[in-house]
């Protein structure tokens, strides 16, 4: 984004910017409301309407100037913070030549909404000035038919590059690489490399090293800018480069790249094809975006929400987004209810059972979620091999037994004080121990099984776990009660 970085947006301390951004959001929101009011009063008083329009236009000009000084990432932030009316207003104020850069910074949901109002010709005009990797990023997030129409309007070279980027699987390093990099030969002198660079006038952002390749464009090593600056200009690239380096294949998963960047504190790394030819570069800004994206969606996915929900999408659309998991939840809650239904006679004989059974289920749900959060984290960090897994399972079951004994006794005591019924006391204590062990098993195995079957181990995990701990909690408690009390 460096080419758009207006100095005045990066001035001084970035907190000023936050204030400016908040003001613009406030102004735009107010304007959207004013416009609506204006439209309502149009028929009532024509003259008042003209004045209002003049005032609105003045505001608009002022806003346009302020937006023009914002970094594209800040404009994207403003757009994401606005409801659809104000968002349209703001989008109209962004200069056409900056729209591509702004689209690159928005979330997919907001991007699709902004683009939905544009003709394919306009979209093509907006994206054409961008690099082909950025175009691929944008086009890849559009609905297929619109994406194809936009592609057909690009020139042939761009089209070919974009199509090749789009052919990489989602979440692969290839799909997120940067095609712009500087390659040099082993036998060149540093002096010659410096001359080459000066002719280029500029380096791609995040260039901390040059890629050393042979005639066949195969990766031979890396030359850091630091060496280039500090070493004797007469020396050869081969003498100053690092031969052993981390690189990625285009079909490596981004997850692997994230781990490597995090561990080895990288800024950039070469991406090669199956013939070890350098085809691109992966840079730390893509890694930061990737981590941030995953981080901000994990809790959403846990409750079965897709990562893409726009905060200001229409109510009906958002409501429907939640239906699949809500429907599953209704179904599993119904199953849990049938478990209770099977013990209706038992409950009819001892209503205290109905009063106490949700306690067992609730504790199971919460402790199961604790175990599951630890397992999901272990999976994400790659710490759960077969040996570790066995240890962890034993450990979680032991914790469940211990905590079940401690808190089961506490619950037993409550029960004894309330109902003066010793057998009932023993039943609730025993049920708590068993339920916590079931919850530990569910917490360990749900994410593992989801992953084993090629699913996201986080998606909906919390809904599935609660379904199991609820049904089993009721079954264990009422089953023990029916056996020993009635």
User: What's 1's DSSP letter?
Assistant: -
Angle at which helices 461-484 and 422-452 cross, to 10°: 150
Of the candidate residues 159, 189, 306, 370, the single one contacting its own copies (CB under 8 A): 370
Q: Please give the residues from 17 up to 56 whose contact with its own copies meets the rule CB under 8 A.
A: 22, 25-26, 29
Q: Please give the residues from 219 up to 248 whose contact with its own copies meets the rule CB under 8 A.
A: 225-226, 228-230, 242-248
Q: What mask of x and - would describe binding to its own copies in positions 103 to 132, judged by CB under 8 A?
A: --x---------------------------
Decide: is 402 part of the binding site for its own copies (CB under 8 A).
yes
Give the closest residue to 358 by CA, choosing from 386, 380, 331, 339.
339
Decide: is 59 part of the binding site for its own copies (CB under 8 A).
no
The site for its own copies, by CB under 8 A, has a size of 144
Of the candidate residues 112, 163, 185, 395, the single one contacting its own copies (CB under 8 A): 395
Residue 349 Cβ vs its own copies, minimum distance, rounded to whole Å: 10
Decide: is 303 part of the binding site for its own copies (CB under 8 A).
yes
Looking at beta carbons only, is 152 or 337 nearer to its own copies? 337
Looking at beta carbons only, is 54 or 330 nearer to its own copies? 330
Residue 169 Cβ vs its own copies, minimum distance, rounded to whole Å: 17
- Tell me how far apart the alpha carbons of residues 207 and 404 are, in angstroms, rounded to a whole number: 56
Residue 249 Cβ vs its own copies, minimum distance, rounded to whole Å: 7
Decide: is 256 part of the binding site for its own copies (CB under 8 A).
yes
Which range in 50-58, 88-96, 154-162, 290-298 contacts its own copies by CB under 8 A?
290-298
Sign of CA dihedral 182, 188, 194, 195: negative
The token pair that represents 13 in the structure block: 């301390």
CB-based contact 127:157 (threshold 8 Å): no
Decide: is 68 part of the binding site for its own copies (CB under 8 A).
no
Looking at beta carbons only, is 127 or 340 nearer to its own copies? 340
Decide: is 253 part of the binding site for its own copies (CB under 8 A).
no
Of the candidate residues 101, 136, 237, 347, the single one contacting its own copies (CB under 8 A): 347
Give the CA diameter of the chain. Answer: 96
- Tell me how far apart the alpha carbons of residues 54 and 34 are, in angstroms, rounded to a whole number: 13
Q: Please give the residues from 181 up to 200 whose contact with its own copies meets the rule CB under 8 A.
A: 194, 197-198, 200
On the CB side of 93, CA atoms within 13 Å amount to: 30
CB-based contact 390:445 (threshold 8 Å): no
Contacts of 221 (CB under 8 A, 6+ apart): 186, 212, 238, 241, 242, 243, 245
- Tell me how far apart the alpha carbons of residues 460 and 447 are, in angstroms, rounded to a whole number: 10
Of the candidate residues 109, 127, 373, 472, the single one contacting its own copies (CB under 8 A): 373
Q: Does residue 182 sit in helix, strand or coil?
A: coil
Looking at beta carbons only, is 165 or 287 nearer to its own copies? 287
Looking at beta carbons only, is 123 or 237 nearer to its own copies? 237
Looking at beta carbons only, is 124 or 438 nearer to its own copies? 438
> Residue for token digits 């403003």?
78
Instruction: Point out which residues pair with 213 in neighbouring strands.
Output: 185, 219
Decide: is 417 part of the binding site for its own copies (CB under 8 A).
no
- Tell me how far apart the alpha carbons of residues 250 and 136 are, in angstroms, rounded to a whole number: 15
Q: Please give the residues from 5 up to 24 whose contact with its own copies meets the rule CB under 8 A.
A: 5, 7-8, 10-15, 22
- Tell me how far apart the alpha carbons of residues 313 and 405 are, in angstroms, rounded to a whole number: 48
Residue 48 Cβ vs its own copies, minimum distance, rounded to whole Å: 26
Looking at beta carbons only, is 91 or 474 nearer to its own copies? 474
On the CB side of 32, CA atoms within 13 Å amount to: 16
Looking at beta carbons only, is 123 or 339 nearer to its own copies? 339
Measuring CA to CA, how many Å separate 202 from each of 197, 376, 383? 7, 44, 42
């Amino acid at each position: 984004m460096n080419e758009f970085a207006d100095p005045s947006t990066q001035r001084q301390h970035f907190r000023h910017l936050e204030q400016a951004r908040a003001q613009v959001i406030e102004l735009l929101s107010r304007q959207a409301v004013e416009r609506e009011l204006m439209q309502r009063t149009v028929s009532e008083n024509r003259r008042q309407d003209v004045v209002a329009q003049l005032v609105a236009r003045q505001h608009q000009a002022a806003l346009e100037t302020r937006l023009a000084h914002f970094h594209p990432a800040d404009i994207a932030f403003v757009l994401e913070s606005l409801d659809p009316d104000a968002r349209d207003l703001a989008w109209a104020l962004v200069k056409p030549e900056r729209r591509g850069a702004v689209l690159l910074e928005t979330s997919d949901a907001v991007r699709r909404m902004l683009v939905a109002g544009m003709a394919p010709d306009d979209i093509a005009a907006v994206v054409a000035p961008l690099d082909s990797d950025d175009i691929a990023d944008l086009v890849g997030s559009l609905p297929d038919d619109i994406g194809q129409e936009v592609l057909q309007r690009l020139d042939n070279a761009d089209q070919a590059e974009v199509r090749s980027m789009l052919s990489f699987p989602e979440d692969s390093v290839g799909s997120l690489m940067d095609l712009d990099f500087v390659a040099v030969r082993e036998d060149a002198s540093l002096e010659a490399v410096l001359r080459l660079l000066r002719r280029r006038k500029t380096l791609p952002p995040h260039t901390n090293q040059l890629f050393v390749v042979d005639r066949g464009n195969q990766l031979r090593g890396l030359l850091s800018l630091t060496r280039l600056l500090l070493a004797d200009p007469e020396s050869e690239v081969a003498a100053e480069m690092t031969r052993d380096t981390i690189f990625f294949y285009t079909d490596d998963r981004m997850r692997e790249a994230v781990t490597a960047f995090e561990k080895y504190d990288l800024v950039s790394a070469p991406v090669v094809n199956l013939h070890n030819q350098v085809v691109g570069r992966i840079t730390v800004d893509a890694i930061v975006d990737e981590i941030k994206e995953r981080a901000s969606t994990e809790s959403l996915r846990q409750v079965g929400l897709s990562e893409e929900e726009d905060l200001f999408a229409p109510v009906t659309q958002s409501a429907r987004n939640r239906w699949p998991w809500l429907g599953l939840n209704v179904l599993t809650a119904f199953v849990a209810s049938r478990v209770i239904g099977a013990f209706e006679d038992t409950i009819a004989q001892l209503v205290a059972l109905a009063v106490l059974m949700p306690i067992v289920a609730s504790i199971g749900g919460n402790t199961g979620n604790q175990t599951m959060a630890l397992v999901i984290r272990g999976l994400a960090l790659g710490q759960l091999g077969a040996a570790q897994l066995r240890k962890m399972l034993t450990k979680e079951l032991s914790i469940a037994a211990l905590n079940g004994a401690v808190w089961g006794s506490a619950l037993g005591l409550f029960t004894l004080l309330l109902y003066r019924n010793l057998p009932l006391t023993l039943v609730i204590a025993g049920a708590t121990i068993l339920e916590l062990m079931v919850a530990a098993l569910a917490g360990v195995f749900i994410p593992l099984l989801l992953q084993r079957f090629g699913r996201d181990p986080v998606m909906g995990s919390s809904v599935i776990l609660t379904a199991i701990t609820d049904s089993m909690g009721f079954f264990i408690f009422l089953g023990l009660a029916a056996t020993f009390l009635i």
